[in-house]
Amino acid sequence: MSAPLIVFDLDGTLVDTAPDLVDTLNLILARQSLPPVPYDEARRLIGGGARRMVARALEADGRPTGGAHLDGLVAEFVAHYSDHIADRSRPFPHLTTALDQLAAQGCAFAVCTNKLEWLSVKLLDTLGLSARFGAICGQDTFGVMKPDPAILLGTIERAGGRPDNAIMVGDSETDIATARAANIPVVAVDFGYTEIPLTDLAPDRLISSFAALPDAVRDLIAASPR
């Protein structure tokens, strides 16, 4: 049997990327003579990729959100962000300890994110985390985005795991919906970027710190009928 595979979302789950993403968004808006988005509001825009983040910021200001203009702004966003990808972004507390404990329990790890794959790899490389993951898959890896379960199932396959021996860890409605569509248990973290209270979404486990993740994973593995 393959090792249990823990598949993590990235932004708002593994890494607090909001400081650099929000800084980049507001820089791009300033270039268009648009007002900045307040930090707490912009934080909630994270999770659907750069295009969705920029489009939602434009929409909130009543600006057009499609066509070549949006394409250009997204290209500017990605170019600047890639050069400042970990200026202030850091792993959430207790992450590395939790990964060490889970690895000691025989678990393997992967990342499934709506961030572009190369940006995800660059971020995790910069933070010294990428070697921990058997696969790092983004919105462009398989040509689909969460909540389409194909991206999660493809990530599991690429990491050498099996859907009946995998657990998703995420911070949002999108992550929970993706896991549900793939018929995979899901642990939600309440320190991420969700717009909806996670208690309303009924994940299999809800944790407030990565210190609680090893026990949550152990409980879900023990409770699995598969």
List phi, psi (to 5°) of 27. Answer: -65, -45
The residue annotated as part of the active site, out of 9, 11, 175, 204, is 9
Tell me the β-bridge partners of 112: 137
- CA 60, CA 36: separation in Å to the nearest integer? 11
Of 68, 91, 67, 17, whose CA–CA distance to 47 is shortest? 17
Q: How much of the chain is in helix, strand and coil states, percent to nearest 5?
A: 50, 10, 40
The first and second tokens of residue 154, run together, are: 């493809």
Instruction: Strands of the chain (E only): list them.
Output: 5-8, 15-16, 90-91, 108-112, 136-137, 166-170, 186-189, 205-207
Coil, helix or strand for 209?
Answer: coil
Side-chain half-sphere CA neighbours of 81 within 13 A: 30
Peptide bond into 147 cis (omega under 30): yes
Does residue 83 carry a catalytic annotation? no
* DSSP secondary structure, 146-162, as one string: TTSHHHHHHHHHHTT--
So which residues are the catalytic ones?
9
